[in-house]
Structure 1
Amino acid sequence: MEKRQVTKMGGNSITLLGPEPSVGNKAPDFTVLDTDLMPKSLEDYKGTYKLISVVPSLDTGVCDRQTRKFNEIASSLGDDVVILTISMDLPFAQKRWCGAAGVDRVVTLSDHKDADFGTAYGVLIEELRLLNRSIFIVDKDDTIRYIELVKENHDHPDYDAAVAALKKIRG
């Protein structure tokens, strides 16, 4: 499996597993679990624009804020956009967190079972079995149109750039 050291956590270099996806390439398929333990894949969101917000764990400050921020933004994006937040958190923990946080416009998905998303998108942190903070925007034809791989996991992604990129591809 491909390994890359292109990012950090707490100032320490970490190793990402999986191929590095590129803008313009077909989005890799994946299987994750929703909060009801049902498998979900890219196919389940066919025909929509997908903003995929990847976080290490919802129970940390930056991940919490990132997910809440995209939940706020979701209402202004339209019905043809789905925001998926993918983490290694257990589906039960995601459901509990969403209920406590009042997050209801973002779909939380767990990669805990197989790390299929993390390895397909090249964001699985080898040393921690967590996902590297990142943003992927995938169009209705399942082509990757935007990628932000945060270089330091304690930093926020560029929310404005992600939303601007999404709005630009929607026309």
Structure 2
Amino acid sequence: MKVTKKGEAVEIVGIQPEVGTKAPEFSLKNLNDEVVKLSDFVGTPVLISVVPDIDTRICSLQTKRFNQEAAKVEGVKFITISNNTKEEQANWCAAEGVDMELLHDTEGTFGDAYGLFIPEMGRLARGIFVIDKDGKIIYEAISQEIAEEPDYNQALEKVKAVR
């Protein structure tokens, strides 16, 4: 799949899971070095926000927006995943006052499982996945232009509908 970064085409490696299929399992560490697995949230809807680099403007805006929404939406687990290091994520959270679950995919396991890795950038593509209580993907949006914000409202409507 090809997307663009500021108008220039880049290739995403892998195959994205499809809506209606079981979400691929993953295990990533959070900022407390605890292993977090998707299966930890069975029975709870999950919104996964994937950002290429937490230290860039659009990724920062996306993460702050979902952090704000997490405080307003009961019964949903909000997760942000990037392939920034733990230290980069921790520094960003401290500077921005964000306390949501951030997971770091420095090994590329999430990027492989969800088909989101862009080799020429060494980063994940921007995307949002909504997973229902049974672990099925009910919404998926891979941003065609990495430098643009995603459609927050559409993702939020989907996750609120399955609470």
TM-score, L = length of structure 2: 0.95
Query: In the TM superposition, what is the alpha-carbon distance from 1:126 to its structure 2 partner?
Result: 1.6
- The equivalent residue for 2:83 is 88
Provide the C-alpha distance between the structure 1 equivalents of 2:148 and 2:30, rounded to a whole number of angstroms: 26
Q: How does 1:11-26 map to 2 (within 5 A)?
A: 11-26=7-22
Query: In the TM superposition, what is the alpha-carbon distance from 1:148 to its structure 2 partner?
Result: 0.7
Provide the C-alpha distance between the structure 1 equivalents of 2:5 and 2:27, rounded to a whole number of angstroms: 26
CA-based RMSD of the aligned residues comes to 1.1
Among residues 134, 140, 154, which one is paired with 1:141 in the alignment? Answer: 134
Provide the C-alpha distance between the structure 2 equivalents of 1:110 and 1:18, rounded to a whole number of angstroms: 19
Provide the C-alpha distance between the structure 1 equivalents of 2:118 and 2:43, rounded to a whole number of angstroms: 30
Among residues 75, 96, 99, which one is paired with 1:101 in the alignment? Answer: 96
**CA-to-aligned-CA distance 1:117-144 (integer Å, 9 cap, x gap):** 1111111112112010100000111100
Query: In the TM superposition, what is the alpha-carbon distance from 1:38 to its structure 2 partner?
Result: 2.7
- The equivalent residue for 2:31 is 35
**CA-to-aligned-CA distance 1:61-115 (integer Å, 9 cap, x gap):** 000010111111111110x2111000010011111211111111x2100001x20
- Structure 1's unaligned 5+ residue stretches are none
What letter corresponds to residue 32 of structure 1 in structure 2?
L
Query: In the TM superposition, what is the alpha-carbon distance from 1:47 to its structure 2 partner?
Result: 2.1
- The equivalent residue for 2:160 is 167
Provide the C-alpha distance between the structure 2 equivalents of 1:45 and 1:165, rounded to a whole number of angstroms: 17
- The equivalent residue for 2:6 is 10
What letter corresponds to residue 161 of structure 1 in structure 2?
Q
**CA-to-aligned-CA distance 1:15-50 (integer Å, 9 cap, x gap):** 112212111000001122211223222122222111
TM-score, L = length of structure 1: 0.91
Provide the C-alpha distance between the structure 2 equivalents of 1:39 and 1:75, rounded to a whole number of angstroms: 23
